[in-house]
Chains A and B, each alone.
Chain A
Amino acid sequence: MYSHFDRKKICLCTGALLLILLPMLAALGGEPYLVSLASRILIYALAAVSLDLILGYGGLVSLGHAAFFGIGAYVVGILAHHDFEGTAMISWPIVIPGTDSALVAWPAAVLGAALLAAVIGALSLRTSGMHFIMITLAFAQMLFYFFVGLESYGGDDGLTLFSRNTLPGLDLGDDTQFYYVCLGLLFAFLLLAGRLVESRFGLVVRGCRENDKRTQSLGFPTYRYKLLCFVIAGAAAGLAGALIANQIEYVSPGLMHWTRSGIILVMVLLGGTGTLYGPVLGAAAFLLLEEGISIYTEHWMVYFGPLLILVVLFARHGLYGILVGKGKRHG
């Protein structure tokens, strides 16, 4: 029991240390390009951890998580677009100008994603199982086509950001500084989510995963708890979206295509469902493999597919389970 706990602690500390030192290691190794790839990994990790919250702990398989990711990115993109053009985003009944300040745009992205999650969640949580998967997928695709058709914001082509958002005291345009901002936010969310799943709220949500009726009969209005969990996960995915818009300085409907939801889902499965830290590993493994194999062939999925199948078949808790070993996980 204790040796397992220690092994987990060692793994987590090593991982955290590695992430903190990464920009220095990259500079030493003469590969500063790695920092930008690592930022991308952190951002997808944030999205994957948020999906794990509803998938691994709430037992809700959502194939529409990229909708929140995409909306977060678009909020940042649209605000920056208006700021650049000097036009108002909304001119009636109140005037809301665009902005390139991260302190305004990012919370707006989180809020936008949370509101969207509240609407989508309120409707789709009335179903469960396969229906829930299909409804979340349908909502995300609706949003995808909405942005494809939104010509004023670039439609299919998307929007290019003139520059990254501004943050007082920091230069987000600098890849290393941006990396640390992403890392800080990921750590903060991991801490929050880690406490969340062990809190009263988390216990109710885990109860819903195992037996919704039973949780109700104990006295919990489970629908409200699941909805709130869905909104929290959506909000975090919105933050990840705001970050990805800054990282690639470009937003497009592709960010919310259902295949993107699939990718985030694969990251969770690969890393380990219901482990919180696993999805970080999953995101890293996925993006590194994509990067690595696509040097040799553009059909990199051909090689990635069998690997995923092996992991899902033989490691119940994914890469995290292999690393930390069996024993009690978070859930």
Chain B
Amino acid sequence: MAESLLRIEKLSKSFGSVAACRDVSLEIVPGEIHALIGPNGAGKTTLLNQVAGDLTPDSGQIFFAGRDITQLPLYRRSHLGLARSYQITSVFPQLSVEENLLLAIQAQHGHSYRFWARSLREPKLRADLVLALEQVGLSGRAEITAGNLSHGEKKQLEVGMALACKPRLLLLDEPMAGMGPGGTVELSKLIRRLKEKMTILLVEHDMKTIFSLADRITVLVYGEVVMTGTAGEIRGNPVVRQAYLGDDDEPC
């Protein structure tokens, strides 16, 4: 197996007496789409938050491209090539769509201690901005205040901001949540296209999407890794079936 891009070793995190993450170890190899599934409260988002740097783990280590990033501050991680989208959309509601994307683009173009030139008019940023808008299909909505976008459009913008960071590893936290069927198909296509350029760690409830997109799947239950394998292996595993896929009810 190729050298892993992300290696998580014995990661633990508790909130009070609740262990949201117990001795989780995981490896993600370059170029794969790795999905994280598990019932509600299994600790998927907690795990993602620790990788992204929003949460500091209680114990364990996280290596990104061979480098220990466990204690690295949030803002430094994006420069290494880690970007994420949030489960609860967190675009900047009072900024326009283009300003939202621009902020992400700016982060990739050196420091932002520039006080005079209008950043919307900087040609270097502008070129990236046009691409970023096209990539997520928001070209026609550039000047709209982000807070006024529809839910689906906010999701698109959210993904667009993560992409503008030009990540090597993209963390997507339930990108499909709350999207209509049309949006889900569009986004699946986008993710498949992105696969050629970057590695993706995907948390998602929508089983159909996961089985069609993911190269490998890790199942989390109560903060512990039950198993990691291909879609076929996961489907066939009796433990997983019982823990997660057993019921016909939509697990969410």
Q: How many A-B residue pairs have CB under 8 A?
A: 94
Specify which chain B residues have a CB less than 8 angstroms from the CB of A199 in the assembled complex: 114-119
A189 within 8 A of B: no
Q: Given A199-B119, A210-B93, A331-B94, does the pair A218, B113 have CB atoms closer than 8 Å? A: no
Contact assessment for A217 and B116 in the assembled complex, using a CB-CB cutoff below 8 Å = no
Specify which chain A residues have a CB less than 8 angstroms from the CB of B92 in the assembled complex: 206-207, 210-211, 214
Tell me the complex Cα distance, A213–B74, Å.
Answer: 8
Q: How far is the CB of A203 from chain B (nearest CB, A)?
A: 5
Tell me the complex Cα distance, A136–B198, Å.
Answer: 45
Contact assessment for A211 and B103 in the assembled complex, using a CB-CB cutoff below 8 Å = no
Contact assessment for A225 and B112 in the assembled complex, using a CB-CB cutoff below 8 Å = yes
Specify which chain B residues have a CB less than 8 angstroms from the CB of A216 in the assembled complex: 73-75
Interface residue from A203, A222, A228 paired with B119 (Cβ < 8 Å) = A203
Closest to B108 in A: A219
Per-residue interface assignment for chain B, residues 37 to 57, with 1 indicating a CB less than 8 Å from any chain A CB and 0 otherwise: 000000000000000111000
Contact assessment for B93 and A203 in the assembled complex, using a CB-CB cutoff below 8 Å = no
Query: Mostly helix, strand, loop or mixed at chain A's interface?
Result: helix
A126 within 8 A of B: no
Tell me the complex Cα distance, A206–B120, Å.
Answer: 14
Contact assessment for B119 and A220 in the assembled complex, using a CB-CB cutoff below 8 Å = no
B133 within 8 A of A: no
Contact assessment for B90 and A219 in the assembled complex, using a CB-CB cutoff below 8 Å = no
Contact assessment for B93 and A220 in the assembled complex, using a CB-CB cutoff below 8 Å = no
Q: Given A207-B95, A216-B74, A218-B103, does the pair A200, B117 have CB atoms closer than 8 Å? A: yes
Contact assessment for B107 and A201 in the assembled complex, using a CB-CB cutoff below 8 Å = no
Interface residue from B75, B78, B108 paired with A222 (Cβ < 8 Å) = B75
B174 within 8 A of A: no
Tell me the complex Cα distance, A215–B92, Å.
Answer: 9
Contact assessment for B74 and A195 in the assembled complex, using a CB-CB cutoff below 8 Å = no
B84 within 8 A of A: yes
Q: Which of A203, A215, A222 has the most CB of B within 10 A?
A: A203
Q: How far is the CB of B72 from chain A (nearest CB, A)?
A: 12
B213 within 8 A of A: no
Per-residue interface assignment for chain B, residues 158 to 171, with 1 indicating a CB less than 8 Å from any chain A CB and 0 otherwise: 00010001000000
Residues of A within 8 A of B (CB): 195-196, 198-204, 206-207, 209-211, 213-222, 225, 228, 331
Q: 29 A-B Cβ contacts within 8 A?
A: A195-B115, A195-B118, A198-B118, A199-B116, A200-B114, A201-B112, A201-B114, A202-B119, A203-B99, A203-B106, A203-B112, A204-B103, A206-B94, A206-B95, A206-B99, A213-B74, A214-B90, A216-B74, A217-B54, A217-B75, A217-B77, A217-B83, A218-B75, A218-B103, A219-B75, A219-B78, A219-B79, A219-B108, A225-B112
Extra 15 A-B pairs, beta carbons < 8 Å, given A195-B116, A200-B112, A203-B106: A198-B120, A199-B118, A200-B114, A200-B119, A203-B119, A214-B86, A216-B73, A217-B52, A217-B53, A217-B84, A218-B103, A218-B161, A218-B165, A219-B107, A219-B108
